[in-house]
């Protein structure tokens, strides 16, 4: 299963769980509910368009799909999802303090936990910076002046008696500027799309990306004009990952693949591997695969 979107800045307020032996679990280990990403489609908000946002929440048993009674049959939902947009003119350090009142816009969430918002809706809520004279179209004026326009989104996910808080910053871009999310194609173990692994065995772990989903690197960047790079972050409830992330070795290859990470399968049973991919132009996708360890 693959979900698409992008987290430009993501702050997930969860504690790192302690191991039974007094050690600390690595950041790659999923030991409790966690929001891994707030995904968007498209990857940036067109000035005359809309964006769809979803919070990817997981736990040691796998992805949590849907919200409450509205979740698809057979899925494991979260209890509730709330999202709000923050004024793009204000620095957000603490969402509970800096994204409230007139500096916040509650966003409607559907039964699947998704939010659809538009540049028009956000511009109406946050028309211009404090102290600035009103303008007929301040967001268009800001983009025309070459300014970066970025809207922080705060998501609160209620799950199993706790609330997880995550942040996503959305770039607002000219309508004609198309940005794509990197599409994850395959997760490979020793070069194969295996779903059954042997307990305790070490595997070379890589992820492949659809080359057609990559944008050109931003102008002014090193090697401008080449295809953008992608970083893949890996997570799993069991087993051991040598590194938390890997990057595309050659984005211009016909089938771009990350450098090799190492995954050592844990004890026998069923588990999951999660991958979150982010690119140079604010795109993101998330993928997960169930694994059987024998």
Q: Is the pLDDT of residue 135 over 80?
A: no
Tell me the pLDDT band of 132, cut-offs 50, 70 and 90: confident
Across the range 131-148, mean pLDDT stands at 81
Q: How confident is the model at residue 157 (pLDDT cuts 50, 70, 90)?
A: very high
* Residue 246 confidence (pLDDT): 96
* Dist CA 23 CA 4 (whole Å): 34
- The C-alpha atoms of residue 249 and residue 244 are separated, in whole angstroms, by 16
Q: Peptide bond preceding 42: is omega within 30 degrees of 0, i.e. cis?
A: yes
**pLDDT tens-digit profile of 170-190?**
999 998 888 899 999 999 999
Cα separations in angstroms, 89 against 50, 85, 86, 99, 255: 20, 12, 9, 11, 40
Most confident stretch, 23-37, 120-134, 208-222, 238-252: 238-252
pTM of the complete model: 0.86
Neighbour-count burial for 2-28, b at 16+ CB within 10 Å, e otherwise: ebbbbbbebebeeeeeeeeeeeeeeeb
Q: Once rounded to an integer, what is the mean pLDDT over residues 128-140?
A: 77
Sign of CA dihedral 81, 113, 152, 218: positive
Whether the predicted pLDDT of 8 surpasses 90: no
Q: Who's near 167: CB < 8 A, 6+ residues apart? A: 9, 10, 11, 38, 92, 95, 152, 153, 154, 155
The confidence score (pLDDT) of residue 2 equals: 35
The pLDDT mean for the chain works out to: 87
Q: Tell me the C-alpha distance between 244 and 238, whole Å.
A: 14
Q: Confidence band (pLDDT; 50, 70, 90) for 220? A: low
Over range 94-115, report the average pLDDT. Answer: 93
Task: Name every residue whose Cβ is closer than 8 Å to that of residue 26 and which is 6 or more positions away in sequence.
Answer: 241, 244
- All domains of the chain in start order, with CATH: 2-173 (2.60.40.1940), 184-293 (2.60.40.10)
What tokens were used for 189?
């173990």
Token pair belonging to 292: 């059987």
Confidence class for position 129, pLDDT limits 50, 70, 90 = confident
pLDDT in tens, 51-75: 999 999 999 999 999 898 877 788 8
H or E element: which one contains 98?
helix 95-98
pLDDT at residue number 206: 97
Q: 95: which DSSP letter?
A: H
Task: Supply φ then ψ for residue 76, to 5 degrees.
Answer: -110, 105
- Angstrom distances, CA of residue 66 to CA of 17, 54, 87, 117, 261: 25, 10, 28, 19, 31
149 burial type by CB count under 10 A (0-12 exposed, 13-18 middle, 19+ buried)? buried
């Amino acid at each position: 299963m693959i979900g698409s979107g992008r987290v430009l800045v993501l702050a997930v307020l969860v504690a790192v769980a302690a191991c039974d032996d007094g050690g600390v679990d690595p950041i790659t280990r999923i030991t409790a509910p966690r929001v891994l990403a707030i995904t968007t489609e498209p990857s940036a908000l067109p000035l005359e368009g809309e964006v769809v946002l979803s919070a990817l929440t997981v736990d040691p048993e796998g992805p949590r799909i849907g919200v409450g009674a509205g979740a698809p049959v057979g899925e494991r939902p979260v209890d509730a999802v709330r999202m709000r947009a923050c004024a793009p003119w204000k620095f957000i350090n603490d969402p509970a303090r800096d994204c409230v009142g007139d500096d916040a816009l509650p966003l409607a969430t559907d039964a699947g936990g998704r939010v659809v918002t538009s540049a028009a809706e956000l511009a109406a809520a946050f028309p211009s910076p404090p102290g600035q004279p009103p303008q007929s179209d301040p967001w268009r004026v800001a983009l025309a002046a070459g300014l970066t326009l970025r809207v922080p989104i705060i998501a609160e996910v209620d799950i199993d008696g706790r609330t997880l808080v995550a942040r996503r910053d959305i770039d607002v871009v000219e309508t004609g500027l198309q940005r794509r999310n990197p599409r994850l194609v395959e997760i490979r173990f020793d070069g194969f799309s295996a779903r059954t692994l042997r307990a305790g065995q070490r595997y070379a772990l890589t992820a492949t990306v659809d080359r057609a989903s990559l944008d050109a690197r931003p102008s002014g960047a090193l090697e401008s004009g080449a295809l953008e790079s992608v970083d893949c972050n890996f997570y799993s409830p069991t087993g051991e990952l040598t590194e938390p992330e890997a990057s595309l070795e050659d984005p211009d290859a016909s089938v771009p693949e990350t450098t090799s990470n190492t995954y050592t399968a844990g004890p026998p049973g069923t588990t999951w591997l999660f991958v979150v991919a982010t690119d140079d132009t604010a795109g993101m996708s998330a993928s997960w695969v169930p694994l059987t360890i024998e």
